[in-house]
Amino acid sequence: MITILDYGSGNISAIKNIYERLNISFEFAATKEQLQRADHILLPGVGAFDETISTLTAKGYFGILNQKVLEEKVPILGICVGMQMLADSSEEGKLDGLGWIHGRVKKFDRNLIPDKPKIPHLGWNSIEIIRDCPLFKNIDPEIGFYFVHSYYYECADMSDVICKTQYGTYFHSAINNGNIYGVQFHPEKSHENGIQLLRNFANL
């Protein structure tokens, strides 16, 4: 059962449609009680870092998330800002992140990006897989994924990086430590690669 955390951020209907197509069980969690039942957790995300962290705090999710992820080792996948929340901090805001995979979220340097529109990084881009990971089984790195973001994750430890992508500079586009996974792109907008990745997550 995939539990999609509904905290008012992200295109959760698109994720719902993919799991329905794959005939994989899922539910939306809008309460702490629903989150408590999760055996896989998906953190969708479209929005600002501080706003999203504040919403999670206001809903009282942090304690349960730490219990499920750090103690029970439930697999979790953060998408876009859902991934960025895994960091220690972000240049986009002032609040602390979850700090589960050490690193900092940084803003793209416009001076390094030759083509316009420069920011956000918008559209399809390929990935370069750095290490094997079951989340990326049967993924075509040349086709890549669909991105929409102005900030990127810089991991403190390269062993936590699954793949990187070039946009003016190389940035870490997917990360993993144990049961914790994050992707900067949007699998729900990435056609067959995205469908395969969401299937892979369900099989972890």
- Of 189, 149, 187, 192, the C-alpha closest to 171 is 149
Say what the pLDDT of residue 9 is.
64
Say what the pLDDT of residue 3 is.
95
SS3 call for 150: coil
Task: Given the residues 40, 121, 149, 186, select the one marked as catalytic.
Answer: 186
Distance from C-alpha of 52 to C-alpha of 133, rounded to nearest angstrom: 28
**pLDDT beyond 70 at 48:** yes
Query: What distance lies between CA 21 and its chain's CA centroid?
Result: 21
Query: Does 80 participate in catalysis according to the annotation?
Result: yes
pLDDT in tens, 50-79: 988 998 888 889 899 999 999 999 999 999
Query: Does 142 participate in catalysis according to the annotation?
Result: no
Task: Given the residues 40, 80, 121, 133, select the one marked as catalytic.
Answer: 80
Joined together, the tokens standing for residue 43 give: 């953190």
Say what the pLDDT of residue 180 is.
98
Task: Given the residues 121, 133, 155, 188, select the one marked as catalytic.
Answer: 188
pLDDT in tens, 148-164: 999 999 999 999 999 99
Residue whose token pair is 């669909």: 146
Residue whose token pair is 């439930």: 74
**More confident position, 155 or 110:** 155
Strand bridging mode 151-155 / 89-90 = unpaired
Query: Does 155 participate in catalysis according to the annotation?
Result: no
H-helix segments, the chain: 12-22, 32-36, 49-58, 62-66, 81-84, 191-202
